[in-house]
Every structure is written in structure tokens, then in C-alpha cells.
Amino acid sequence: MDGVSLSSSHPLFKEIDKLTMEQLSYAKAGVEEGVWQLFADEGEMKMYKRDLEIDGMVCDPLKAVHSIKGVTAREYLHYFFDSSYKLDWDTTLDNMRVVEHLASDTAVIHQVHKRVWPAAQRESLFWSHFRKVNSYKDPDASDLYIVCNHDCERPDVALSNKACLRVGLTIAMVCQTVIKRPQSKVQFSELSREDIGCKIIYVAQVNPGGWAPNSVLRVVYKREYPKFLKRFTQYVEQKVKNKPIMF
């Protein structure tokens, strides 16, 4: 999947292009000491957060780095982007639907999340864009893909119920395939899953969109983000097992 399928004349193109590239730089910028606090450290998976409140609401930025074996960047992000799998792996969801397929690499998605007591139920409405950006890959990587999600407005998508609040979100997952055998000496077709790995960076900032107790929100995020990344990774590992490698 080289190039961008979304037409440059689409009204959302400029915003999608700008935000996707900004999130890519932000994700790759690392975690400065004294700025990011490590809150989950499980094997290769490390998760960091910063404390940030906007208008009194917790909007803590999150950054996670992970590294797994046997999966390519394209495969990992295929399962993250493709909405037909979301209900399998996203345990925060009550339901979801694709509002519009804007192109093969871009969709608008509406999700209704499970209610967390005592706060009101949340929903999200966002564009989701999948892109290959090899010019930004690390020297040891053979490719780089990103999925970027950001909230949007659609007059044709009403709140699912009046008590629901719509969250704001900017989320990106950046993945790079690492090949363990010298690339100059090997064709992709000769590689097995033992020869490949994937470096993952996930960044997220969610605005709760209205009242929620700050302490509960922080507890929920600390529990849910590691749960999500571990569960999603296991899901992908299971899905690719015994399938031909997709680069």
C-alpha cells in the first residue's frame, strides 16, 4: 500500500495530512526524562503519561512503546485500522459502525463506549487514516506505517442518546518492521515469522468531553491502556498465525 488513496481535493485531506505527519514526529520524538512518567512496565511494553488538565478535565497524554516478534508493521496496523475487527479486541466498546469510507485508507467511525460509573456514557466520532511513510523509518527498519485517528464533526451523526457525551481524541499507532537477517542478502519471500519483528509506538490524548471525576478517569486510563495494548497484541499474534506474511 504505497501512496495516499484519499483524494487531495477531499475537504478533510489537509487536516488529515497535517495531523498524521505531526503525530508521526511526536510519536518518534521519544520520552524526555522529567516530562513523561513511566506507569506500566511489562516486558517489552512500556507506558508513559503526563498530567494535563484542560478546563479542569483530565486530558493526560499517553505514550507507549512496545516490541513484538513474528508480526510485520503492516499486519499490526491492518488489524488496528480495519473496523471489521474492532469489536473483537476493543473491550471499551458497546457498539460501533463505519459512518463513511472516504477511501481505502480513510474512514469515519462512530463508536459507543461502555459506561463507567458514576460518569455519563461516552461515544467517539473520528476519522481514521492509514499510511505508509518509509522516509521516516529508523535505520534498522524496513518500513514504517502509521494509523492516525482524530475526532471530527458530522451533522448527520446524532448523539446515540441524550445522556451521552462525545469525547475528543487524537490517537496514533506507528509501527516499523525489523528484519533480523541482513536485508541485502535476503528476499522477502525467503523470510519466516522467526526473522521478523515489529517496533510499536502508540500515542493517545483523549478529552472526556464533559464531567467525569478526575481520580476515576486516571484510574480507568491506567487500567485500560495497558489492557488494550496487551490484548490487541495477542489478538494480532493469533490472527497472523499460519498466514502468509504481509509486508
Q: Which of these ranges, 1-9, 69-77, 185-193, 213-221, lies near ligand 6CM under the rule CB under 6 A?
A: 213-221
Answer for which of 99, 116, 152, 164 binds ligand 6CM (CB under 6 A) is 116
212, 236, 240, 245: which one binds ligand 6CM (CB under 6 A):
212
Asked if 88 touches ligand 6CM (CB under 6 A), the answer is no
Question: How many C-alpha atoms does 70 have within 13 Å on its Cβ side?
Answer: 12
In the list 224, 238, 241, 246, the residue contacting ligand 6CM (rule: CB under 6 A) is 224
* Cβ at position 151, least distance to ligand 6CM in Å: 8
Sole binder of ligand 6CM in the list 6, 171, 191, 245 (CB under 6 A):
171
220 binds ligand 6CM (CB under 6 A): yes
Q: Which of 49, 113, 137, 199 binds ligand 6CM (CB under 6 A)?
A: 113
Nearer to ligand 6CM by C-beta: 212 or 245?
A: 212
Measured CA to CA, the distance from residue 147 to residue 173 in angstroms comes to 5
The answer to whether residue 169 forms part of the interface with ligand 6CM (CB under 6 A) is yes
Is residue 167 close enough to count as binding ligand 6CM by CB under 6 A? yes
Give the interface size with ligand 6CM as a residue count (CB under 6 A).
Answer: 21
Give the Cα separation of 52 and 208 in Å (integer).
Answer: 12
Asked if 92 interacts with ligand 6CM (CB under 6 A), we say yes
Task: List residues binding ligand 6CM (CB under 6 A).
Answer: 86, 90, 92, 113, 116, 119, 122, 124, 149, 167, 169, 171, 206, 208, 212, 216-217, 220, 224-225, 228
